[in-house]
Amino acid sequence: MMIEEKTITTANKSSTKRRGQIKSIWFRYKKNKLAMTGLILMGVLIFIAIIAPLIADYEQDAVSQNMKIRLQPPSIEHIFGTDQYGRDMFARIIFGARVSLAVGLASVVISSVLGILIGSISGYYGGMIDNILMRTMDVLLAIPSIFLAIAIVAALGPGLINLLIAMSISYTPGFSRIVRSSVLSVKNQEFIEAAIACGTKDNRIIFKHVIPNAIGPILVQVTLSIARAIIHVSSLSFLGLGVKPPMPEWGSMLAEGKPLMRDNQYLVVIPGIAIVLSVMALNLIGDGLRDALDPRLKN
């Protein structure tokens, strides 16, 4: 669409069409119905996770065992039923949401920040620094992230913080690679040369000029990674390497429900749907973001 873009940019912009880039992206995102569905769904999930303590009581409903009401199928009192220890499934789901979403989000935030730093320094300076950093990243990348996480958790012991550390380390190499290649192409643009010509110091060039222009490609990857992280949290907890019981978490709920799956399907189906919904929402957001960032790809 070179022709169209050229005619618009030669125009005299006296009109109020002064949209910042972010507004244009939001404008395009809003029009994508699926993307908006994802965004709304995610919004609802996050909202419920935040107000969880207002809806149910952690100690009473989600954690303490009450064998008298065990294995009750969904009813008006317990809308998702109770598990084999008499704990309210609904309460466990919404408190579990906190763990899954928080750990998922936090691990991606940490690893993307680390990835941006490593990728930028690697890409901008090149040479020996690039070699050392990227080969280290390669070693980590050679191991599938789930196994890497398992290995680290196995070494550090189960628990929320260790889970967070393990996942952050396993996602960093992927981000650093993406950022590095983005930085490589930004670095050759003339405005970087212009900054050097003014006498700008390296750290300002990297933080003010390079990084803001290089993180575009990572945005979509971040959203999709959160989806992957939620599945990883669940998987690790399912394997017993995640949160310690009785802390509710969707994956460990799957593990606990598995032996009783034949007669009490809801024990497994409900946490399963929760995982599917959040992952689907994030994927829709990620796709919508990608299309909004580069509308040419859609046509």
Partner 1 sequence: MSTPLIETRNLKKYFDTLEGKLHAVDNVSFIINKGKTLGVVGESGCGKSTLGRTVLRLLEPTDGEILFRGENILGYGTTQMRNMRKKMQIIFQDPYSSLNPRLTVSEIIAEPIKVNKTITDKIEMENKVNEIMEVVGLSSRLVNAYPHELDGGRRQRIGIARAIILEPEFIVCDEPVSALDVSIQAQILNLMMALQDEKAFSYMFITHDLSVVKHISDEILVMYIGQSIEKATSEELFKNPLHPYTQALLDAILEPNLSGRYKEKKVIKGEVTNPINPTPGCRFAPRCPFVKDACTGRDLELKEISPNHFVACTLFD
Partner 2 sequence: MAGKLLEINNLNVTYETDEAVVYAINGLNLTIHKGETLGLVGETGAGKTTTALSIMKLLPNKVGVIKDGEIILDGIDIINSAEQDMRKIRGNTVSMIFQDPMTSLNPILTIGDQIAEVLELHRKDMKRDEISKRVDEILKMVGLPPTRKNEYPHQFSGGMRQRVVIAMALVCEPKLLLADEPTTALDVTIQTQVLELMKGLKAKLNTAMLLITHDLGVVADICDRVAIMYAGKIIEMGAIEDIFEGKEHHPYTEGLFGSIPDLKKEARRLNPIEGLMPDPTNLPSGCHFHVRCKKCMDKCKLEEPVINSINLDNTHIIKCHLYNDIHR
Could you please report the per-residue DSSP string of 149-198?
HHHHHHHH-SSHHHHHHHHHHHHHHHHHHHHHHHHHHHHTSHHHHHHHHT
Q: Does 21 bind partner 2 (CB under 8 A)?
A: no
Q: Does 31 bind partner 2 (CB under 8 A)?
A: yes
In terms of CB distance, is 35 or 215 closer to partner 1?
215
Residue 3 binding target from partner 1, partner 2, none, CB below 5 to 8 Å by type: partner 2
Residue from 27, 47, 191, 207 that binds partner 1 (CB under 8 A)? Answer: 191
Residue 47 binding target from partner 1, partner 2, none, CB below 5 to 8 Å by type: none
> Near partner 1 by CB under 8 A, which window of 3-11, 49-57, 62-70, 284-292?
3-11
The CB-of-118 to partner 1 minimum distance in angstroms stands at 21
99 burial via Cβ count (<10 Å: 0-12, 13-18, 19+): buried
Instruction: Mark out the alpha helices in 58-144 (DSSP H runs).
Output: 89-125, 127-142
Tell me how many residues contact partner 1 (CB under 8 A).
24
DSSP for residue 85? T
Q: Does 196 bind partner 1 (CB under 8 A)?
A: yes
User: CA 170 → CA 158, 166, 181, 279, distances in Å?
Assistant: 16, 6, 19, 19
The CB-of-185 to partner 1 minimum distance in angstroms stands at 11
DSSP for residue 60? I
The residue ranges that bind partner 2 (CB under 8 A) are: 1, 3-4, 6-8, 10-13, 15, 28, 31, 299
